[in-house]
Amino acid sequence: MKFEPKISIVIPVYNGFDYLSDAIDSALAQTYSNFEVIVVNDGSLDDGKTEAVAKSYGEKIRYLWRENGGVATALNLAIENAEGDYISWLSHDDIYPNDKLSTQVRFLENCQDRKIILYGDAELIDSGGNHLGRYTSNPFPQHELLFRLIEENFISGCATLIPKECFEKVGNFAPQWRFTQDYEMWFRMGRHYQFVYVPEIFVKTRIHSEQGTARNDKKHYKEVNDLIIHVLETVSIEEIFQNIRPVPVQKAKCYMKIAITLKNKGRIPSAEHAVVMAKQYAEKINDASELFSFYVQLFFYRIFIKEFAWRYWLLVAKRIFRPMLIKGMLLRQKVKRK
């Protein structure tokens, strides 16, 4: 039997009448036939212009309206009303290649497990639709996914195809993450589902000055750091690094690896939090050689924490003088017996 699941293309929009028709046209132009298009107007305040564009498509799409609550709430409303087996998110200012859905369905058809999340690359375009370049994502083994996500959000949300059941299991997009609702969702889904990279362009991403992240660069930076700290607090290090030995020195080293990665990315607040978590496990190390290997890592990355140095030398002293002390006591007992 041919694999032809129904796919729901969901398009959230706020004051986006200028690009919305391009997005809807690209959705309706898909060569794959079994799909629906749901447009959610997130309380636009543009004198009805966005609503007029959406309603001009009549019964070709399903049109929903809600009070403004952000991208997450608009996506959630669309997903709750979706009739498809898979969800395909399209931003109102982006464009799908005509074969986006057909390529992804064809890939799934050859998979034994179809409850996986597909992602791919993006073509970057300017406000006029002109080619700027290509964003190439990266394939990673599933056991590295969470660490790689901490490193950066390499998954373009509009290049994904997600089984609807994933949302039923992990929940909706979280509205409190106003600029990183997709990033936060990948962490949740990555703990339960496999992400599979397909090296094809699945979306044309428009770069323009009116994008939310472009207008709120400082808020976005803060929220990314807050999200990483939240992940470090709620996801165990054994989940992030699935092949480590569950001992303090290994956990401390892994948190330091995260800290250095974040520091190199310029995410200083979350890097500092990772150092604090590394310190908590380093304080539980009771072997001088293990603490020394951790201390070398700190020194190599030019991080010096005074407490670790004192703790190391204390353990060294114990290792050197304790045997000497025991030997002296034994000798004294031997002399007394004589």
One-character DSSP codes across 273-300: HHHHHHHHHHTT---HHHHHHHHHHHHH
The pLDDT of 285-313, averaged and rounded, is 63
Structure tokens at 163: 């089984």
Nearest Cα neighbor of 173 from 151, 159, 157 is: 157
Residue 80's contacts (CB-CB under 8 Å, 6 or more residues apart) are 172
**pLDDT exceeds cutoff 60 at 312:** no
In the chain, residues under CATH classification 3.90.550.10 are 7-219
**pLDDT exceeds cutoff 60 at 329:** no
Distance CA 243, CA 241 (A): 6
The pLDDT of 24-33, averaged and rounded, is 98
pLDDT band at 265 (very low <50, low <70, confident <90, very high): very high
**Max CA separation in the chain (angstroms):** 108
What's residue 286's pLDDT?
78
Other beta carbons within 10 angstroms of residue 65's beta carbon come to 15
Please give the span between the terminal C-alpha atoms of the chain, in angstroms, as a whole number. Answer: 93
The pTM (predicted TM-score) of the whole model is 0.87
Distance CA 32, CA 6 (A): 10
Q: pLDDT (tens digit, 9 = 90+) per residue, 137-196?
A: 988 999 999 999 999 999 999 999 999 999 999 999 999 999 999 999 999 999 999 999
- Is 63:36 a contact under the CB 8 Å cutoff? no
- Is 208:93 a contact under the CB 8 Å cutoff? yes
**pLDDT exceeds cutoff 50 at 304:** no
163, containing H or E segment: strand 162-163
Structure tokens at 30: 């898909």
Q: Which amino acid is at 248?
A: P
Nearest Cα neighbor of 93 from 200, 30, 15 is: 15
CATH architecture, domain 7-219: Alpha-Beta Complex (3.90)
Nearest Cα neighbor of 251 from 272, 277, 225 is: 277
Distance CA 294, CA 312 (A): 10
